[in-house]
Structure 1
Amino acid sequence: MSFSPDIVERLARARADLRMGVPIVLTGGGTALLVLSVETLSATRLQDVHTLDSAPVLVITARRAETLKARAYDGEVARIRPPQDAGLAWFLGVANPDDDLRAPMKGPLASEREGSADLHRAAVKLIKSARLLPAALVLPLDNATRFSLEHGLTMIPADLAAPHLQATSPLHPVAHARMPMALADAGRLQIFRPEDGGEEHYAIEVGRPPRDKPVLARLHSACFTGDVLGSLKCDCGPQLHAALAQMGAEGAGVLLYLNQEGRGIGLANKMRAYSLQDQGFDTVEANHRLGFEDDERDFRIGSNILKKMGFSQVRLLTNNPRKIDMMESAGLSVTERVALKVGENAHNRAYLATKAAKSGHLL
């Protein structure tokens, strides 16, 4: 019988738990960790943590550690020893850069360097995949199975989870319908759903592009602020409409609308980055202060959708060479890069300059 959830389903459950502030248990290498997301940590659960025998550790990314002048001895993460009297405000202050300028001195922060950090890295990856601030409060458990059963917690074996945290979830078409649009009358919208319970992605097919020739294609990451609200802080809305207009003019094309808001960090974290930009940091610096990389998106999703739709070659509407590299590494041939230079204004000029200087965009 197959009523029990498999590892993919358990990971989806773990992400939901972490987003609600519920702890999970990670196991591997003969050890186990109780893991809580700092962003959703409550004072009550922190108090419960302090009743346990083990000493808690705060795990942050090396990017965030660099901002805080803390040592990252474990590659992409740092294990910080909290003060004995650390309360909820201390943990949130280290994890969240909202008040960095008002209260820049968070430490001195002491980093652990002994023992394996494999489970700590897995904890941060899992929390990041839940679109939360990449910071985990962890503490070792002696009898993880009994503890998880007593408290009804989701238990994740790290070795089974690792491939799924690295890979792109398989996608399946679930619905499609004709959808005439102002910029392209002959349109069709198709919905693709990932197996891992993540967000759905959309394929907008204009006309009837032949499958045996390079298709004009655009991988467009969701941007609620630019696409819907017409924000002037980015060029996303103008790029979306210009791409559809060009496909309409040529009579054929595919625009993939990928739900990877804020370069893959989610809308809430994107708004945190905007707040940091208002303090004078550029878009890359803001992401780093939050603990993220420059760009957390996975463009293999777009390649997989296009291949499912029957395409093997594309003329890619993009200014981002990284999209081309990732598409080709995923088995899709990019026969031409089609420039898409629209939307510059007084509000986003510095943002676009940063994308060109630090992220290699061809502007």
Structure 2
Amino acid sequence: MGLGPDLNETLARARADLRMGVPVGLRADGAHVLVAAAETLSEARLCAMRALGPLDLALTDRRAATLKARAYDGDVARVIVPEDARLSWVQDLADPADDLANPMKGPLQTRRDGSVMLHRLGLQLCKGARLLPAALVVPVAPGTAAAQGLLEIDGMEAAPLLEALPELEHVVSARVPLRAAENARLHIYRPADGSEEHYAIEIGRPDRAQPVLARLHSACFTGDLLGSLKCDCGPQLNAALTHMGQEGAGVLLYLQQEGRGIGLANKMRAYALQDQGFDTVEANHRLGFEDDERDFRLGAQILDKMGFSAVRLMTNNPAKMRMMESCGIGVTERVPLKVGETVHNTHYLAVKAAKSGHLL
């Protein structure tokens, strides 16, 4: 291998470019497009992209349903951007913050001919960059990306990599005495795709031949660090560590999947929508996300690398149990974790039970 980046590294650079408002090039089956994230796009770059050809705004079917736009391609809607559309029009379609105040955004025309593959990849890159899933797409002549000094990615090669679970590399382990357990060690795992590192907190010296008391805990800045009363995350984190400390052994996996995998900024957007009267699932859908965008396979991979093949899983979420089993990690027992209900999150917990199947 030379000094140049491999595909994983190029995709990481592409996500960083999109976060900065810089378009990236995608190609597949003779088609070439430039893709920009609607959230970070500038008026100047919108004008520059419009000069290259007809523009589409790629949206997920979830966001399209809110806007009453036809998603002819199933999971993706290709909204045709009018020639005189300004950046504010594009970003109003991407961001539901003002939907109730300004509901009339259409009628919207959506494209139904041609391949949607590169539009779909653009949305995946936006999600991976923790941006709103809305991508401006323009077809271009071959070589345009290079001429503009932009990254260009082979979509056929990138598609399976974006779907695959990134390989996690163990970086370091060290002793970290905790209030809940003085005999704790922190293990750091770094994904090969350049995304956030994940952590494993090992209490004691669990027997690898026996099912370990374990929890998959998704990072929650507001709940874990600030003590937010809108969720039950902080109390769950502390209760799980306390339980493991009392038993003398356990593993808590701290996965960097804030806001059910949509990132802190989008989580705050969902909170703002909840203030408008939408529940947590409805808010995610209006933003263009699924109910839950997390990938629990990461937890299974860490457990396997640590030498565990079976767990007593501390969870109220059956989806975590199913994912562990499907990844070869046996679940011998579900250990309920019902803590942290407040007057501020009673409705949130009820929605988790009714719509997400949590056992509350």
The offset of 1:50, in angstroms, is 2.2
Aligned to 1:332: 329
CA offsets 1:130-177 (integer angstroms, 9 cap, x no match): 11100000010122xx21222111111111111111111100111111
TM alignment of 1:103-252, pairs within 5 A: 103-143=102-142, 146-252=143-249
Instruction: Say whether the 8 Å CA contact 2:58–2:76 is kept in structure 1.
Output: yes
**2:190 partner letter:** R
**1:127 partner letter:** C
CA distance in 2, matches of 1:25, 1:49: 12
CA distance in 2, matches of 1:186, 1:62: 48
TM alignment of 1:88-103, pairs within 5 A: 88-103=87-102
CA distance in 2, matches of 1:331, 1:153: 41
CA distance in 2, matches of 1:69, 1:326: 34
CA offsets 1:90-122 (integer angstroms, 9 cap, x no match): 000000001001001110001111111111111
- For the residue of structure 2 that corresponds to 1:234, the secondary structure is coil
CA offsets 1:61-108 (integer angstroms, 9 cap, x no match): 000000011101011110001122100000000000010010011100
Deviating more after overlay: 174-183 vs 269-278: 174-183
CA distance in 2, matches of 1:155, 1:246: 50
- For the residue of structure 1 that corresponds to 2:39, the secondary structure is coil
In the TM superposition, structure 1's runs of 4+ consecutive aligned residues that sit over 3 Å from their partners are: none
CA offsets 1:34-61 (integer angstroms, 9 cap, x no match): 1000000001101111222x10111100
CA distance in 1, matches of 2:326, 2:7: 26
**1:329 partner letter:** S
**2:191 partner letter:** P
- For the residue of structure 2 that corresponds to 1:169, the secondary structure is coil
CA distance in 2, matches of 1:91, 1:178: 50
**1:290 partner letter:** L
Aligned to 2:85: 86
Mind listing any 5+ residue stretches in structure 1 that lack a counterpart? none
- For the residue of structure 1 that corresponds to 2:241, the secondary structure is helix
Instruction: Say whether the 8 Å CA contact 2:146–2:152 is kept in structure 1.
Output: no
Aligned to 2:8: 8
RMSD: 0.7
- 2:351 counterpart of 1:351: no
Identical positions, percent: 66
Aligned to 1:57: 56
The offset of 1:300, in angstroms, is 0.2
TM alignment of 1:8-47, pairs within 5 A: 8-47=8-47
Query: TM-score when scaled to structure 1?
Result: 0.98
- For the residue of structure 2 that corresponds to 1:256, the secondary structure is strand
- For the residue of structure 1 that corresponds to 2:110, the secondary structure is strand
CA offsets 1:204-252 (integer angstroms, 9 cap, x no match): 0000001000000000000000000000000000000000000000000
Equivalent of residue 317 in structure 1, options 297, 301, 314: 314
- 2:263 counterpart of 1:266: yes
CA offsets 1:23-44 (integer angstroms, 9 cap, x no match): 0001001101110000000011
Instruction: Say whether the 8 Å CA contact 2:213–2:251 is kept in structure 1.
Output: yes
CA offsets 1:284-313 (integer angstroms, 9 cap, x no match): 000000000000000000000010000000
Instruction: Say whether the 8 Å CA contact 2:63–2:285 is kept in structure 1.
Output: yes
- 2:253 counterpart of 1:253: no
CA distance in 1, matches of 2:229, 2:90: 34
**1:189 partner letter:** L
Aligned to 1:291: 288
CA distance in 2, matches of 1:139, 1:118: 13
- For the residue of structure 2 that corresponds to 1:110, the secondary structure is coil
**1:114 partner letter:** D
- For the residue of structure 1 that corresponds to 2:227, the secondary structure is coil
The offset of 1:330, in angstroms, is 1.2
- For the residue of structure 1 that corresponds to 2:158, the secondary structure is helix
Query: TM-score when scaled to structure 2?
Result: 0.99
CA distance in 1, matches of 2:82, 2:150: 27
- For the residue of structure 2 that corresponds to 1:136, the secondary structure is strand
CA distance in 1, matches of 2:146, 2:43: 23
Instruction: Say whether the 8 Å CA contact 2:50–2:83 is kept in structure 1.
Output: no
CA distance in 2, matches of 1:126, 1:325: 27
Corresponding residue pairs, total: 360
